[in-house]
Structure 1
Amino acid sequence: MLKIENLHAEIDGKQILNGLTLEVGAGEVHAIMGPNGAGKSTLAYVLGGRPGYEVTQGSVTFNGQDGQAIDMLELETHERAAAGLFLGFQYPVEIPGVSNVQFLREALNSQRKARGEDPLTGGEFLKLAKEKAALLKLDMEMLKRNVNVGFSGGEKKRAEMVQMGILDPRLAVLDETDSGLDIDALRTVGEGINAIMRQPDKGVLLITHYQRLLDYVQPDKVHILARGRIVKTGGPELAHDLEREGYEALGEEVGA
């Protein structure tokens, strides 16, 4: 589904990714962990097409909504979204003056239009929104409020997962979705990710600092990213090893 080969990227002339290679198959959840400054968020931003991040070498191939392989790096940000990519942010932004319902309906119908599909009516959209909000235990009244304005950290993350459910992506890249969540919200978000994305035709790239979210979203593989590249790959037990021993136990592999 997602194939990254020898990816090099920089921002403001500073090299961040240094030959990163990674492949995520359909139906798989992959977790990426690593020390601060390793390049985890840079990877998410490069995949999402954030301005300012320049790819200097390598390729990213993505099997989009129609199942056809496409060169993701050739697409604009909105084209990547329409092709089936969803990027979850560590710090979801507030958008005063725009309600969640309005924002999400416009976003969904814009993507549907790009794929040659008919837009949803107001009634059809509200039915879908209620269904996805229920998965994340988010009151529909929250979706009538301005996007993330006055939301707690946990509410922002749950609202973002509702957004993911409504947009129904093929691949979700989630950048520290567990940041700022208490125990109950962590469980709810984890269960929401499983309900929405644990499908045979979908994939998840889950970026996290901690093992705790992986108790709820069991990854097929765990990768350690350090100095801009993947230095170690293992199963879920690798995250437990890191939680117990820290990155210093990996020594020179992570530059410790």
Structure 2
Amino acid sequence: MTTIEQLAGITSQHNEIIKRVGNGSLDPLVVKRALQDIIEGKLPVGANWNLPTWWRTPKQQLARVRQLWPNAVLPQGLPKEFTPRTKSEVLLLHVPDSFDSLWDKVDAPQKDGVSYTKYRLEGVKDDKRNLRLSPNKREFTQPVWLAFDPERGRGARPDSFWGQADTAASEVFSALIQFPEWSLAWFNGASAPNLTGYQLKYDGSWSRVPYLNRWVDDRRLGLLGSWAGYRDGNWSSPSVRGC
């Protein structure tokens, strides 16, 4: 929680900015732009933002896509500039595909020379009777560069993000495809993802979400279903936005 001392410090800095804008020592347009960036949550590149060790560069991501989707029409050139808005946002090249196809393309990670296996709960089915997008969620129709935040919504109920268009669905699979070591960071400081952009039907109601888990003892990467109203500090509801 913010302290009185922190609020007092911010107020003092605000007053100093107003003073300097008033006497002409600060450009009001520059100040306005900087304040708007703060309001929108944009972080200056290199400031309080460290790339996770599991992330792969745009060139590596392009190579991966060309390997798996050789006929895909890719965005022209590399993204010129990417400014993260949170400390956990990373750049992701997403290729739209079916739920089943994307899961099939996910490689289980390796650790200490031993490969994990993949597991999928039988009830997580890719058909319209059992799986649908959450309200206002739309799938991309072409390969696209996205800002992907794997830590958004950590500890919150997945269904609290239903209705938000930026909630990730198949893009979570793309992140696993592009960043095979991402899952090794789960429960080691990073959260595991719900696929909150989807809804799973259970007992006649759309009350569940697909989610991913990693078991250390038997080295499995699992795709399962959970109650959308269940919250856990080890899971998140990742977000995506165009960039």
TM-score (norm 2): 0.24
Higher relative contact order (CA 8 A, sep 6+): 1
Choose 1 or 2 for highest CA Rg.
Answer: 2
Higher relative helix content: 1
Q: TM-score, normalised by structure 1?
A: 0.23
Q: Decide which structure has greater strand share.
A: 1
